[in-house]
Amino acid sequence: MVERQILIGPINCEGGGRPHDLGCAKYMFAVAHRTPRGLSECAKLASAGAKLFEVDVRIHRSGVIVSHFLPVLRVPGWIENDGPNFRLYRMYLQDLSLLQTVVLVPAPYRIVLDLKEDLPWRRKQLNERLIPLVEPSRFLVSTHVIEDLKFFRERGFETWRTIRNTMELTAAISSEIKDTGVSIRHSLVTPDSLAKLREVTSTVVAWTVNDLDRARQLYSLDVDGVTTDLPEVMDMAQSASD
């Protein structure tokens, strides 16, 4: 099994491997879902218990930007949305660049790059633009696109395979996963699905967990990590793992 790499080194017990495989105390880490736009805000999430910071990355004429706004129907055009919020495409100028965001995250906390381009040519551009900007020691990559995962693995990056639906879950548990772990929609996590994922990967991260009771359920199931917006969930994960 692949060791979990969380902060500076592997989170494991003497001898290597995953903590619960070795009879060690349970451990669940928290990923800050939306990296804030300020130093103090990032520091607060780190203090609350976040172990990694996630950023959604896209390409624009200005370069690689961090944005939760995506084109409506995932086709670049005039209108973008972030859940119920809409904006005009040109408003991307309000987004921070990747480099502007990275300096806000306290060292040595690691950063999860969540790739948000769908069109093949835009994915290719994003991948190529990222390589000179990021280092494998600080960044890991998350996406559902198998080819892009391979692209970054071949360049030394740890990768998480994103699982968004039952079809992708079935494909994952039926294949040899070469990535460091999987990042799975939390509603898909059950005792059965988790047991099957354990056969093909060493690290399972559930997203996006914004309910404290659900976070506790996932901890009891022995999920390795949760992505969340809530400092309360980050604190719970940190306290439960101490």
pLDDT tens digits for 118-177? 899 999 999 999 999 999 999 999 999 999 999 999 999 999 999 999 999 999 999 989
Peptide bond into 231 cis (omega under 30): no
pLDDT band at 241 (very low <50, low <70, confident <90, very high): confident
State the Cα angle at 179 between 32 and 199, rounded to 5°.
Answer: 105
Q: Which two tokens stand for residue 65?
A: 């930007």
pLDDT tens digits for 225-234? 999 999 999 9
pLDDT tens digits for 37-70? 999 999 999 999 999 999 999 998 889 999 876 6
Do 105 and 111 form a contact (C-beta atoms < 8 A)? yes
Report whether pLDDT(188) > 90: yes
By C-alpha distance, which of 126, 69, 128 is closest to 95? 69
Do 143 and 162 form a contact (C-beta atoms < 8 A)? yes
The domain ranges of the chain are: 19-57+100-241
Element (H, E) at 158: strand 158-163
**Domain 19-57+100-241's class?**
alpha beta
Report whether pLDDT(19) > 80: no
Could you give the C-alpha distances from 154 to 4, 131, 136, 140, in angstroms and in order? 18, 12, 11, 13
Kindly give the interhelix angle for 231-241 and 212-221, rounded to the nearest 10 degrees.
30
Three-state SS across 25-49? Answer: CCCCEEEECCCCCCHHHHHHHHHHC
